[in-house]
Amino acid sequence: MNELMRILVELQSLEFEETIRPDIEERILELRAKIPAPILSHYDRLSDKGKKGVALLRNQTCSGCHMRVPVAVVLDLKHGDEVCLCESCGRYLYLPETAAGDGIVESKKPAAKKSRKQLAHAL
């Protein structure tokens, strides 16, 4: 996961705690200083509405709105080169480093049936 998303996730976890202690407040200010202004302002707009600004991407689905995300977005997140938004809810998406299958759900197709001729030939 790229560094910016790691910072946003940590910031969100600190800001959505029940009580903010003075030592945590300093850490919040430190994290906010590391985030570019346009990204921080979008994050703050979502927070002002009571929404979390960052959502986990699991099985190609946004954990914020439970809508399916295009494979291209998943691949962009996998590369970690850019910040991606959910097209449905507007949250920043992140793909955890330990995500199995990189968030892409692969459909399992049944094996093709072999003809009698192929089965007889295999014996």
Q: Band the pLDDT of 18: cuts 50, 70, 90.
A: confident
Paired residues of 94 in beta bridges: 56
Q: What is the pLDDT of residues 40-83, one digit of tens each?
A: 999 999 999 989 999 999 999 999 999 999 999 999 888 877 89
Q: Mean pLDDT over all residues of the chain?
A: 82
Q: Give pTM, 2 decimals.
A: 0.72
10 Å CB burial of residue 121 (0-12, 13-18, 19+) is exposed
Task: Give the pairing type, strands 54-58 and 92-94.
Answer: parallel
What domains are defined for the chain? 3-106 (1.10.287.1490)
Mean pLDDT on 10-16: 90
CA dihedral 34, 40, 44, 47 (to 10 degrees): -70
What does the block give as tokens for 94? Answer: 């992140």
User: In angstroms, how far is CA 45 from the centroid of its own chain?
Assistant: 19
